Chains A and B, each alone.
Chain A
């Protein structure tokens, strides 16, 4: 058992005496007896470090680690450069607190300032905050930025990630905001429907769209933006940060606020967290950004210095009038993203994006040859949906089971016959050929064969 309490029982006793107590019981005697625990907490006894690791390893081994992953839907398997792990494991960065004392926190503050700059570069926006919990909460916070007394209806594309939609709804449960879904049509947001809804709604606060959307398809970002602005609302666009290396920026699409999840920028899948919510906005909306923001200034000797700034928005100053309750952010994850973007550079990220996109298109081709049909012919980035043909044993479950047996995590089953696939720079041509061959086996009933053809 370890407690990390350095002092021995003897030293503790001496210290107790110095402050006038004979025992710990005496020190706690001012606490009402009724609430004092009589029998301690009923959890197992403490373990040695060796035993803790053994136990943790046992538990971790119950998880299946797939070496080939074709699933995205909000969590993406990308290459994490060694320099990223090396830098982020520096104890100073790991064990530091929020940089309230600027004089001894220039390292953290500068790294956040660099992160903010990179996010602005990626999204084309004028200002970024120091991060929020994840892409979904960033969406929830972005929606809150757009609401005011007069405008409280929030329009959300039904083609966005269902989990993010759920978070936006939960965030709005607290307020008087109304969430209205804009239907999906042919795999993308129904622009006509949006226009109908928003032009007759003087209370429209904003419209949220994901680019590319949940199904992987490219939205008509510019047209949607025009419709929203004509309706007097603000335009919120959520983007894949890898796609942004080559894709039109939210700023170029006309967005007022850009959000998204930075997990692909060097963070492992980690069963869903910690990830990274980025938020950036135009100059007009910058002061409404929630959470911490780092600014540049000078110190008393004219040297360049970084500080947390615009704190008057925040909870520790404004309390119930704060723009949000956010206190902690995801600083260490923001650092991870900065190192990733620095290591990869614009060229490296463009290369990764190119491979994601090219790989996904190749994969769709071989899956088509294997017998699956694309659900839509829409333009896509690195995710797409396929439909199984009719027939017993050819549905999503059978396909995914067959892949799983060979150590491959297939796409996400969306329904009995639909699968949402994802390809990244981690998937090789060989892997994709093998996966397609297995799919072919399932669809063409070659259940007797043990060998994979075409390997």
Chain B
């Protein structure tokens, strides 16, 4: 397929903006660019067709089953899009006088209220734009807390070896040393290892529960107790909240600070890799350090007037700002619409069915595929192709690529690192039994292929726009932009 730079023709343009009606003023020579940027010169028709062609080579949740473990690729409801498209949300400048943006402040206020209730936290900021950004923010809260206590010794963050890569990366960005503790055979935190690792230098622990192998760590209260006793704080990576929202709350499990992924658990679309939103919630004692400003209601006026009016306030010992303005506001609008739709009953129903669907898939695939762990899983489970690799050379990569030929997006490959030849499967609650049964059939077919004709799988996929790309050369001799000859 041609690039946009290889289409169009010199001189083609759209008539998009009106003619100027004031005298022309332009830069002096010293500030003028020498050569115009080389951007496409196409007609609107050509542009429209180019992007339609690109869309046809793109696969989203809207196109088919997307059981990507750890990403919660659930259905993106259209009502959320309609809410975010409202003129009142799209056309307001972030620096308008506060009396003129009470609606936007109400969105942030309600989202904070509902999400604090769901997570068991007391305050929340929506400034972080993604999960990793939220992790960075949450860790800065922990850092500010220890600095405030003048406890300079706490330089380490404990992270299980099963953790998502963003966890240690975020800790390093905050200047912490990362202490990785090995998980038990059953994928859960090794309490002995944890006890040995905590001490006076422990700033905190980063954990997700259920963990990255999809299991609920039953020792969670003991884990958080051990860390608290040593003087550290507990950070909850909310990426897996879809397993437990409305069923358990991180705040009740001993966590002091959490981040959420609105683009996972709360159904906002992934957009090909963003924009997301990674709000950070915390307990009262960490509230003074929150970044940005938060809408606060004058409670007395709330009684007199409907709703009352909001005012932006900054926490007294705020760590500053992690982003300009208030966060990915339109993403928060979508998440709020979703929470309003699900409500008190729908939230636990979503997570219950997420867990049901995952266990259903796991049980029905267990006859031919090896599962990394046999216990009841939560919203996702890990398959291991290690055995198959030994027996007939078929790897997790091969299975994943074979799935592409059936129009199914593969599960997450090679994560978590503690399982060899891992495929992590997360169906989510928005898939029907028929879709799951169809997927089960496809997985079985592929298994039979793997036994009968492993070679076929090594060369999969066959029916996609491109075959397996040469990633080695792409890294060795990077070509990161189009160049005109």
Check B169–A19 contact: CB distance below 8 A.
no
Which residues from 196 to 255 on chain B have a C-beta closer than 8 Å to any C-beta of chain A?
216, 218, 220-221, 245-249, 252-253
List A contacts of B347 (CB < 8 A).
Answer: 41, 43
Residue among B350, B359, B481 making CB contact with A116, cutoff 8 Å: B481
B77-118 interface bits toward A, Cβ cutoff 8 Å, 1 = contact, 0 = none: 101011100111111111111001111101100000110011
Q: With A43-B343, A60-B103 given, is the CB distance from A31 to B270 under 8 Å?
A: no
Residue among B143, B249, B323, B401 making CB contact with A174, cutoff 8 Å: B143
List B contacts of A400 (CB < 8 A).
Answer: 97
Residue among A15, A81, A174, A316 making CB contact with B140, cutoff 8 Å: A174
Pick the interface stretch among B16-24, B280-288, B386-394, B443-451: B16-24
Check A273–B470 contact: CB distance below 8 A.
no
Q: With A43-B339, A300-B459 given, is the CB distance from A352 to B17 under 8 Å?
A: yes
Check A170–B469 contact: CB distance below 8 A.
no
Chain A: residues with Cβ within 8 Å of the partner, total of 202
Interface residue A71 (Cβ < 8 Å from any Cβ of B): yes
Looking at the assembled complex, report how far the CB atom of A261 sits from the nearest CB atom of chain B, in whole angstroms.
8
- Of listed B42, B104, B319, B466, residue having the most chain A CB within 10 A: B466
Interface residue A452 (Cβ < 8 Å from any Cβ of B): no
The docked-state distance in angstroms from the alpha carbon of A357 to that of B56 is 40
Interface residue A163 (Cβ < 8 Å from any Cβ of B): yes
Interface residue B316 (Cβ < 8 Å from any Cβ of A): no
List B contacts of A222 (CB < 8 A).
Answer: 30
Check A107–B22 contact: CB distance below 8 A.
no
Interface residue B191 (Cβ < 8 Å from any Cβ of A): no
List B contacts of A15 (CB < 8 A).
Answer: 356-357, 360, 433
Interface residue A415 (Cβ < 8 Å from any Cβ of B): no
Check B346–A46 contact: CB distance below 8 A.
yes
Looking at the assembled complex, report how far the CB atom of A16 sits from the nearest CB atom of chain B, in whole angstroms.
6
Which residues from 250 to 290 on chain A have a C-beta closer than 8 Å to any C-beta of chain B?
252, 261, 268-275, 286
Check B475–A137 contact: CB distance below 8 A.
no
Check B135–A269 contact: CB distance below 8 A.
no
> Which chain A residue has the least Cβ–Cβ distance from B429?
A5
Interface residue A83 (Cβ < 8 Å from any Cβ of B): yes
Q: With A7-B353, A35-B221, A327-B130 given, is the CB distance from A169 to B63 under 8 Å?
A: no
List B contacts of A6 (CB < 8 A).
Answer: 430-433
List A contacts of B25 (CB < 8 A).
Answer: 357-358, 361-362
Check A299–B48 contact: CB distance below 8 A.
no
Residue among B3, B274, B429 making CB contact with A114, cutoff 8 Å: B3
Check A95–B76 contact: CB distance below 8 A.
yes
B1-24 interface bits toward A, Cβ cutoff 8 Å, 1 = contact, 0 = none: 101110000001110111011111
Interface residue A154 (Cβ < 8 Å from any Cβ of B): no
Q: With A92-B60, A379-B28 given, is the CB distance from A137 to B346 under 8 Å?
A: no
Check B218–A30 contact: CB distance below 8 A.
yes
The docked-state distance in angstroms from the alpha carbon of A113 to that of B92 is 31
Check A96–B271 contact: CB distance below 8 A.
yes
Looking at the assembled complex, report how far the CB atom of B202 sits from the nearest CB atom of chain A, in whole angstroms.
16
Looking at the assembled complex, report how far the CB atom of A388 sits from the nearest CB atom of chain B, in whole angstroms.
18
Check A320–B172 contact: CB distance below 8 A.
yes
A81-101 interface bits toward B, Cβ cutoff 8 Å, 1 = contact, 0 = none: 101001101111111111111
Looking at the assembled complex, report how far the CB atom of A438 sits from the nearest CB atom of chain B, in whole angstroms.
16
Check A103–B468 contact: CB distance below 8 A.
yes
List A contacts of B279 (CB < 8 A).
Answer: none
- Of listed B5, B63, B75, B342, residue having the most chain A CB within 10 A: B342
List B contacts of A47 (CB < 8 A).
Answer: 340-341, 343
List A contacts of B50 (CB < 8 A).
Answer: 342
List A contacts of B357 (CB < 8 A).
Answer: 15
> Which chain B residue has the least Cβ–Cβ distance from A323?
B169
B259-301 interface bits toward A, Cβ cutoff 8 Å, 1 = contact, 0 = none: 0000100010111111110000000000000010000000000
Known A43-B114, A174-B175; further 4 A-B contacts with Cβ < 8 A: A249-B33, A327-B165, A381-B27, A425-B17
28 A–B contacts, CB within 8 A, in A order: A1-B341, A19-B363, A20-B363, A28-B355, A30-B218, A65-B87, A69-B93, A91-B62, A95-B62, A96-B61, A106-B54, A110-B3, A163-B321, A164-B324, A167-B320, A176-B175, A270-B89, A286-B480, A295-B475, A300-B467, A307-B471, A325-B132, A330-B275, A332-B269, A332-B271, A342-B39, A343-B47, A358-B22
What are the nearest 10 A-B pairs in CB distance? A46-B343, A272-B325, A60-B88, A332-B271, A95-B60, A107-B58, A272-B94, A170-B320, A331-B273, A62-B103
